[in-house]
Structure 1
Amino acid sequence: MFTSVATTSRRLVTFGMVGALGTLAHYATLILLVEIGTLHPTAATTVGFGVGALVNYLLNHRYTFNSTKAHRDSGPKFALIAIATGLLNTLIVHAGVDNLGFNYILVQVVATATVFLLNFILNSLWTFRESGTL
């Protein structure tokens, strides 16, 4: 059975709100590690992405998808998607900062926008998909 447009729209909005909290955790970690910890932006965004991913997983499992799946089922799927999109995020930051010389915050905003929709689609179709829905 297909998921209704209304359900998908609600999930996308909730995913965005949850994503904002995960992004806040990501950016706070990134900025702290760069400005106080003197870590390179590429390394700092990788750590920040991990912190944001944990926040996103827990909140998306509960609120966005209201998932009944066990964490042992949805957790590894979410982690695999987070690793793939985290690598994409890191590559974008590396290219923007090291190759193009842009400010790391500006580049991070571009990276975040790039991975947002990809994360929603992949997690909707695989991680939190209930059997019999699409």
Structure 2
Amino acid sequence: MASEPESNLRTVEALAALGRQFASYLGVSLAALAVHYAVLATLVETGRADPVPAALAGYLVGAVVSYGLNRRLTYASDRPHAEATWRFGVVAAVGFGLTWLIMAGLARGLGLPYLAAQVVATGVVVFWNFLGHRLWTFADRSSSVLPDGASRAG
């Protein structure tokens, strides 16, 4: 059985690794969000789409960017693409639904400006996506969900 100082050190190391991974996720998310918001604003400002479908189109394009960068940089996953892509799709589909609900509720229901509504939607969905991808999409196939070799033993 590990001593208390060793257990505390492992906990601190695990939390630090989780923090680094989340920081990487946020960096990747910024790139995907730039693409998402560019599509959203372009479609709305050119009159090609209402804010809700434009937000959803942006979400889909941003998801493509997110998959590639997160697989490689954030999670360093070796899960085969055939398995990771459908898992990514499921997590992204829930995020897509959350985006739709939040955008429809805030932009249409409450009349908020579409960009303000999208910021709220982004804030909610970013946490959902990080946890979904960390714990399921790109999780180590050995079923450990702890970061960088941290052990479950205490």
TM-score of the pair, normalised by structure 1: 0.94
Q: Which runs of 4+ in 1 moved over 2 A?
A: none
Match of 2:103 among 84, 93, 102: 93
CA distance in 2, matches of 1:33, 1:99: 21
CA distance in 2, matches of 1:81, 1:43: 19
CA distance in 1, matches of 2:117, 2:124: 11
CA distance in 2, matches of 1:37, 1:133: 48
Please name the residue that 1:103 is paired with.
113
Q: Which amino acid aligns with 1:67?
A: S
Match of 1:80 among 90, 96, 100: 90
CA RMSD of aligned residues (A): 1.4
Indicate the structure (1 or 2) with the bigger Cα radius of gyration: 2
Long gaps (5+) in structure 1 = none
CA distance in 1, matches of 2:143, 2:116: 41
Please name the residue that 1:27 is paired with.
37
TM-score of the pair, normalised by structure 2: 0.83
Q: Which amino acid aligns with 1:61?
A: R
> 1:1-134 residue pairs with structure 2 within 5 A?
4-130=14-140, 131-134=142-145
Deviations 1:72-111 (A, max 9, x none): 1111001111011111111101111111011000000000
- Matched position secondary structure for 1:4: helix
CA distance in 1, matches of 2:46, 2:143: 49
Please name the residue that 2:8 is paired with.
none
Q: CA deviation at 1:37?
A: 4.0
Long gaps (5+) in structure 2 = 1-10, 146-154
| Number of aligned positions between the proteins | 133
